[in-house]
Protein backbone atom coordinates (compact mmCIF):
# COMPACT_ATOMS: atom_id res chain seq x y z
CA UNK A 1 0.00 0.00 0.00
CA UNK A 2 1.40 3.37 -1.03
CA UNK A 3 1.19 6.48 1.09
CA UNK A 4 -1.22 9.19 0.01
CA UNK A 5 -0.66 12.59 1.60
CA UNK A 6 -3.18 14.41 -0.60
CA UNK A 7 -5.84 14.44 2.18
CA UNK A 8 -3.22 15.92 4.53
CA UNK A 9 -2.37 18.67 2.05
CA UNK A 10 -6.04 19.40 1.42
CA UNK A 11 -6.76 19.53 5.13
CA UNK A 12 -3.61 21.45 6.04
CA UNK A 13 -5.46 24.74 6.81
CA UNK A 14 -7.55 22.86 9.39
CA UNK A 15 -4.44 21.25 10.87
CA UNK A 16 -2.77 24.66 11.05
CA UNK A 17 -5.76 26.13 12.91
CA UNK A 18 -5.74 23.13 15.22
CA UNK A 19 -2.02 23.63 15.87
CA UNK A 20 -2.67 27.27 16.75
CA UNK A 21 -5.35 26.24 19.25
CA UNK A 22 -2.95 23.68 20.70
CA UNK A 23 -0.35 26.43 21.19
CA UNK A 24 -2.94 28.74 22.79
CA UNK A 25 -4.17 26.07 25.22
CA UNK A 26 -0.62 25.05 26.10
CA UNK A 27 0.54 28.64 26.64
CA UNK A 28 -2.35 29.59 28.94
CA UNK A 29 -2.13 26.27 30.81
CA UNK A 30 1.61 26.76 31.19
CA UNK A 31 1.14 30.22 32.68
CA UNK A 32 -1.45 28.85 35.09
CA UNK A 33 0.77 25.90 35.97
CA UNK A 34 3.77 28.14 36.68
CA UNK A 35 1.81 30.45 38.98
CA UNK A 36 0.16 27.55 40.77
CA UNK A 37 3.42 25.62 40.93
CA UNK A 38 5.28 28.56 42.45
CA UNK A 39 2.65 29.11 45.13
CA UNK A 40 2.31 25.43 46.00
CA UNK A 41 6.05 24.81 45.84
CA UNK A 42 6.73 27.61 48.30
CA UNK A 43 3.83 26.42 50.43
CA UNK A 44 5.60 23.10 50.89
CA UNK A 45 8.86 24.61 52.12
CA UNK A 46 7.88 24.82 55.78
CA UNK A 47 6.16 21.76 57.35
CA UNK A 48 5.69 23.73 60.58
CA UNK A 49 2.90 25.72 58.90
CA UNK A 50 0.67 22.68 59.00
CA UNK A 51 -2.49 23.93 57.34
CA UNK A 52 -0.80 25.44 54.29
CA UNK A 53 1.69 22.59 54.03
CA UNK A 54 -1.07 20.00 54.38
CA UNK A 55 -3.26 21.58 51.69
CA UNK A 56 -0.38 21.90 49.26
CA UNK A 57 0.81 18.36 49.90
CA UNK A 58 -2.70 16.97 49.42
CA UNK A 59 -3.04 18.81 46.12
CA UNK A 60 0.28 17.47 44.82
CA UNK A 61 -0.47 13.92 45.99
CA UNK A 62 -3.95 13.79 44.46
CA UNK A 63 -3.07 15.41 41.12
CA UNK A 64 0.13 13.44 40.59
CA UNK A 65 -1.55 10.22 41.67
CA UNK A 66 -4.46 10.33 39.21
CA UNK A 67 -4.43 10.28 35.37
CA UNK A 68 -4.76 13.55 33.50
CA UNK A 69 -7.52 12.08 31.34
CA UNK A 70 -9.63 11.32 34.42
CA UNK A 71 -9.12 14.87 35.69
CA UNK A 72 -10.21 16.31 32.34
CA UNK A 73 -13.31 14.12 32.30
CA UNK A 74 -14.17 15.16 35.87
CA UNK A 75 -14.13 18.79 34.79
CA UNK A 76 -16.00 18.29 31.53
CA UNK A 77 -18.45 15.51 32.39
CA UNK A 78 -18.48 15.53 36.19
CA UNK A 79 -19.01 19.19 37.06
CA UNK A 80 -22.29 19.46 35.06
CA UNK A 81 -23.80 16.98 37.52
CA UNK A 82 -23.15 19.65 40.18
CA UNK A 83 -24.77 22.28 37.93
CA UNK A 84 -21.35 23.72 37.08
CA UNK A 85 -21.14 24.15 33.33
CA UNK A 86 -17.79 25.21 31.88
CA UNK A 87 -16.86 25.55 28.19
CA UNK A 88 -14.70 22.75 26.83
CA UNK A 89 -11.85 25.20 26.20
CA UNK A 90 -11.90 26.31 29.85
CA UNK A 91 -12.01 22.71 31.06
CA UNK A 92 -9.00 21.89 28.93
CA UNK A 93 -6.98 24.81 30.26
CA UNK A 94 -7.96 24.16 33.86
CA UNK A 95 -7.18 20.46 33.58
CA UNK A 96 -3.78 20.95 32.00
CA UNK A 97 -2.90 23.90 34.25
CA UNK A 98 -3.81 22.12 37.47
CA UNK A 99 -2.03 18.95 36.38
CA UNK A 100 1.12 20.80 35.34
CA UNK A 101 1.09 22.93 38.49
CA UNK A 102 1.52 19.86 40.69
CA UNK A 103 4.69 18.84 38.87
CA UNK A 104 6.06 22.36 38.61
CA UNK A 105 5.57 22.81 42.36
CA UNK A 106 8.01 19.97 43.00
CA UNK A 107 10.51 21.53 40.61
CA UNK A 108 10.17 24.86 42.43
CA UNK A 109 10.48 23.29 45.86
CA UNK A 110 13.52 21.24 44.90
CA UNK A 111 15.30 24.19 43.28
CA UNK A 112 14.72 26.47 46.27
CA UNK A 113 15.83 23.84 48.75
CA UNK A 114 19.00 23.26 46.72
CA UNK A 115 20.18 26.79 47.54
CA UNK A 116 22.46 26.87 50.56
CA UNK A 117 20.55 27.74 53.74
CA UNK A 118 23.33 30.06 54.80
CA UNK A 119 22.32 32.57 52.15
CA UNK A 120 18.88 33.04 53.66
CA UNK A 121 20.34 33.21 57.15
CA UNK A 122 22.86 35.83 56.05
CA UNK A 123 20.15 37.92 54.40
CA UNK A 124 17.96 37.78 57.50
CA UNK A 125 20.90 38.76 59.69
CA UNK A 126 21.30 41.88 57.56
CA UNK A 127 17.74 42.88 58.34
CA UNK A 128 16.01 41.66 55.20
CA UNK A 129 12.54 40.18 55.53
CA UNK A 130 11.94 36.58 54.49
CA UNK A 131 9.97 37.68 51.43
CA UNK A 132 12.60 40.20 50.31
CA UNK A 133 15.40 37.67 50.73
CA UNK A 134 13.43 35.08 48.78
CA UNK A 135 12.69 37.49 45.91
CA UNK A 136 16.12 39.08 45.56
CA UNK A 137 18.54 36.32 46.59
CA UNK A 138 17.05 32.83 46.62
CA UNK A 139 14.59 32.80 43.70
CA UNK A 140 16.97 34.31 41.09
CA UNK A 141 19.43 31.49 41.76
CA UNK A 142 16.72 28.84 41.96
CA UNK A 143 15.21 29.88 38.62
CA UNK A 144 18.43 29.01 36.81
CA UNK A 145 18.30 25.53 38.32
CA UNK A 146 14.63 25.15 37.43
CA UNK A 147 15.08 25.66 33.68
CA UNK A 148 16.16 22.11 32.64
CA UNK A 149 13.39 20.26 34.52
CA UNK A 150 10.89 22.95 33.56
CA UNK A 151 11.83 22.39 29.93
CA UNK A 152 10.92 18.72 30.26
CA UNK A 153 7.61 19.67 31.88
CA UNK A 154 6.80 22.20 29.17
CA UNK A 155 7.43 19.64 26.43
CA UNK A 156 5.34 17.07 28.28
CA UNK A 157 2.53 19.61 28.54
CA UNK A 158 2.53 20.17 24.78
CA UNK A 159 2.18 16.44 24.20
CA UNK A 160 -0.41 16.02 26.95
CA UNK A 161 -2.52 18.73 25.33
CA UNK A 162 -3.55 16.15 22.71
CA UNK A 163 -5.95 14.74 25.31
CA UNK A 164 -8.15 17.84 25.16
CA UNK A 165 -9.36 16.64 21.76
CA UNK A 166 -11.54 14.21 23.72
CA UNK A 167 -13.40 17.25 25.10
CA UNK A 168 -14.42 18.23 21.56
CA UNK A 169 -11.85 21.04 21.49
CA UNK A 170 -10.75 21.67 17.89
CA UNK A 171 -7.04 21.27 18.59
CA UNK A 172 -4.46 19.65 16.32
CA UNK A 173 -5.44 16.09 17.20
CA UNK A 174 -9.15 16.78 16.84
CA UNK A 175 -8.71 18.35 13.41
CA UNK A 176 -6.58 15.42 12.33
CA UNK A 177 -9.26 12.96 13.38
CA UNK A 178 -11.81 14.89 11.32
CA UNK A 179 -9.62 14.49 8.25
CA UNK A 180 -9.27 10.76 8.96
CA UNK A 181 -13.05 10.37 9.25
CA UNK A 182 -13.40 11.68 5.70
CA UNK A 183 -10.30 10.30 3.96
CA UNK A 184 -9.66 7.08 5.93
CA UNK A 185 -5.92 7.82 5.67
CA UNK A 186 -4.98 7.28 9.30
CA UNK A 187 -1.27 6.60 8.80
CA UNK A 188 -0.58 9.70 6.74
CA UNK A 189 -2.60 12.02 8.96
CA UNK A 190 -1.08 10.75 12.20
CA UNK A 191 2.40 11.05 10.68
CA UNK A 192 1.65 14.69 9.83
CA UNK A 193 0.32 15.31 13.34
CA UNK A 194 3.44 13.74 14.83
CA UNK A 195 5.65 16.01 12.73
CA UNK A 196 3.76 19.12 13.89
CA UNK A 197 4.10 18.10 17.55
CA UNK A 198 7.79 17.39 16.96
CA UNK A 199 8.26 20.89 15.52
CA UNK A 200 6.44 22.47 18.47
CA UNK A 201 8.44 20.57 21.08
CA UNK A 202 11.73 21.20 19.26
CA UNK A 203 11.11 24.94 19.06
CA UNK A 204 10.22 24.97 22.76
CA UNK A 205 13.37 23.07 23.63
CA UNK A 206 15.59 25.45 21.63
CA UNK A 207 13.95 28.50 23.22
CA UNK A 208 14.47 27.13 26.72
CA UNK A 209 18.11 26.32 25.98
CA UNK A 210 18.69 29.93 24.94
CA UNK A 211 16.97 31.19 28.08
CA UNK A 212 19.08 28.89 30.24
CA UNK A 213 22.33 30.07 28.63
CA UNK A 214 21.25 33.68 29.09
CA UNK A 215 20.44 33.16 32.75
CA UNK A 216 23.65 31.27 33.45
CA UNK A 217 25.59 34.09 31.84
CA UNK A 218 23.96 36.46 34.35
CA UNK A 219 22.05 38.44 31.76
CA UNK A 220 18.69 38.28 33.57
CA UNK A 221 19.65 37.72 37.17
Could you report the per-residue pLDDT of 102-148, keeping only the tens digit for each? 999 999 999 999 988 888 888 888 888 888 888 888 888 888 888 88
- Mean pLDDT of all residues in 162-190: 93
Lowest mean pLDDT among 75-79, 102-106, 179-183, 210-214: 210-214
Question: Domain residue spans in the chain?
Answer: 6-216
Tell me the C-alpha to C-alpha distance, in Å, between residue 180 and each of 25, 31, 120, 175, 183. 23, 32, 57, 9, 5
- Choose among 14, 19, 29, 67: nearest CA to 194: 19
Nearest to 138 by CA among 203, 221, 23: 221
| Residue range 154-179: mean pLDDT, rounded | 93
pLDDT value for 182: 92
Residue-level pLDDT at 132: 87
User: Which of 148, 66, 158 has its CA nearest to residue 107?
Assistant: 148
pLDDT tier at 221 (50, 70, 90 boundaries)?
A: very low
What's the pTM value of the predicted model, to 2 decimals?
Answer: 0.88
Residue 132 or 70, more confident? 70
Q: Per-residue pLDDT averaged across 180-187, rounded?
A: 92
Angle (deg, nearest 10), helices 12-43 and 186-216 = 40
The domain 6-216 belongs to what CATH superfamily? MetI-like (1.10.3720.10)
Distance CA 144, CA 167 (A): 36
What is the overall mean pLDDT for the chain? 91
From first CA to last CA, the distance across the chain in angstroms is: 56
pLDDT at 220: 44
**Cβ count near 148 (within 10 Å):** 12
Rounded average pLDDT over 181-195:
93
Q: How far apart are CA 15 and CA 9, in angstroms?
A: 9
Stretch 9-27: mean pLDDT:
93
Q: Compute and round to an integer the Cα radius of gyration of the chain.
A: 21
* 17, 85 Cβ separation under 8 angstroms: no
- The answer to whether residues 101 and 36 touch, using CB atoms and an 8 Å cutoff, is yes
User: Where residue 1 falls among pLDDT bands split at 50, 70, 90?
Assistant: low
* pLDDT tens sequence across 74-87: 999 999 999 999 99
CB 197 within 8 A of CB 159: yes
| pLDDT tens digits, one per residue of 53-63 | 999 999 999 99
3-class SS at 156?
helix
Amino acid sequence: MSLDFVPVLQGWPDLARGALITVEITAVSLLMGCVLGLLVGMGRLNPKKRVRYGLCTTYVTVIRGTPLLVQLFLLFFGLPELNILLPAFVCGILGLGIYSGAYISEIVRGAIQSIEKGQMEAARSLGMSYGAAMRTIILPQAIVRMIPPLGNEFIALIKNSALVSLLTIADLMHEGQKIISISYRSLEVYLAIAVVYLVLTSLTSMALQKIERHLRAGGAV
